[in-house]
Structure 1
């Protein structure tokens, strides 16, 4: 994992957990925005992802959780308020962690969580019973399904580290993992949460996320649906607006904690 220090006096730390199949380098723009605003940033690649990734995803979800726990520990090392941001499956992993144990964070930011998926691997539902655990499937999530930002298309198609091929066993574990988070009967500890939802999300079912958030009975949360945006809200042409909304949430949380921002 890597750490980027804030430009000037730091006021907080942001730990970023990326989505399935991708890698932390896709967040270069967002990392720089946070640094310019006075936030340290820590992030890295989930096991089996990025430059050290596998050609076929078969990592355990326990390994993902263990990695994110270490990422949070690194974020807490500076003795500054910590915000944990998760996107897609990254958000779901963090949700699962805080269902199991309280994490001493200033707040959480979730974008397009995976609690139920609209986009399934082609023909997956019809062949599920015939798949063995070792067989591979292609989730086939292309850049065109993730964002309307044409400026990113050429770069994305040349990205050797983006890979949506997985073992059938991994995909079945994914379904179980999402269901466990969505149907958890308890509530998390009372901490500020911001949830970004893409109004034109072609990947995730946002209705499950809204149900999850309401069930938590939090005293402070924000739920923002971006009407025309696709799944990767921080990659969209409107990403500056999404970022400013996020920064305002973080600054308000810091003020409530007694920090001058």
Structure 2
């Protein structure tokens, strides 16, 4: 886990939760943009990701371990005594939703970037085979078709996700089944709805997750402040794609508006 502190007086803290198969270095641009707005950033690599992934052939981490890591991130963020926001991308956004559904926190707001609530076709296996594979062969290897070219069409953003840590989307059948069940629980359960302010950022050209399912879920929540925005040409990784400056402005303005509603003076 790492902390990047802004220069001078900070107004808020953001924790960033990256998506599956990524790691924290991918978010250097976003971290610096937040620091430039007077915001501390707390971030780390999810279990089994980052340097750990160099030695793993398959992802088989548990949801419990992922959520425990988010708890640790929040504990460090709350230590500053400032309003705390969560930015979750992809699978990280899904984990953020699950954590906030199951745990009471004083989190000021949630920013969701292309959350996984319904995955598009990601493997050559037929859907029926995937449904039962976790129960029949939980250790069986599944190679999800998550290639970097599906994440961004921006050459600068693409260069930011090329590094010495191997990128692979190989998972076990058990991992895949758990993720599918998690998404189903979030989208179908009527209780444990979110009440904090939520901003959902989506890409219409997303090849990984379905924006329609996210939009439908969002407007069933109990929050008095919900924002939903789609970019018509963007790919899945909004903070790496061509429109990322505009995406960041939406993020910044959401944070500032929530802080104003909490009684803070924001310049």
TM-score using structure 1 length: 0.95
Q: Does 1:149 align with 2:151?
A: no
After TM superposition, give the deviation of residue 190 of structure 1 in Å: 2.4
Partner of 1:69: 71
2:210 aligns with 205
2:256 counterpart of 1:254: no
| Corresponding residue of 2:102 | 100
1:125 maps to which residue?
127
1:77-226 matches, cutoff 5 A: 77-125=79-127, 127-128=129-130, 129=132, 132-154=137-159, 156-226=161-231
The secondary structure found in structure 1 opposite 2:219 is helix
Which whole-Å CA distance do the structure 2 matches of 1:51 and 1:215 have between them? 38
Structure 1 window deviating more from structure 2 (130-139 vs 77-86): it is: 130-139
Q: Is the 8 A contact 1:187 1:216 kept in 2?
A: no
Once the 2 structures are TM-superposed, how far is the Cα of residue 158 of structure 1 from its aligned partner?
Answer: 4.5
* Range with greater deviation from structure 2 (156-165 or 61-70): 156-165
RMSD: 1.6
CA-to-partner distance for each residue in 1:165-213, whole Å, 9 max, x for gaps? 1111111111111111111211435211110011111100111111211
Q: Is the 8 A contact 1:91 1:111 kept in 2?
A: yes
Aligned to 2:45: 45
Could you list the per-position Cα deviations for residues 149-172 of structure 1 after superposition, in whole angstroms to 9, with x for gaps in the alignment? 123445545442422111111111
How does the TM-score come out when normalised to structure 2?
Answer: 0.93
Instruction: Tell me how far 1:79 sits from its aligned partner.
Output: 0.4
Tell me the equivalent position of 1:25: 25
Indicate the larger mover: 67-76 or 188-197.
188-197
Unmatched 5+ stretches in structure 2? none
**Range 233-242 or range 127-136, more displaced:** 127-136
Task: Say if 2:26 and 2:161, in contact at 8 Å, map to a contact too.
Answer: no
Aligned length: 261
Q: Secondary structure at the match of 1:66?
A: helix
Cα offset for 1:24?
A: 1.0
Distance apart, 1:257 and its partner CA? 1.1
User: Cα offset for 1:15?
Assistant: 0.4
CA contact (8 A) 2:194 2:222 kept: no
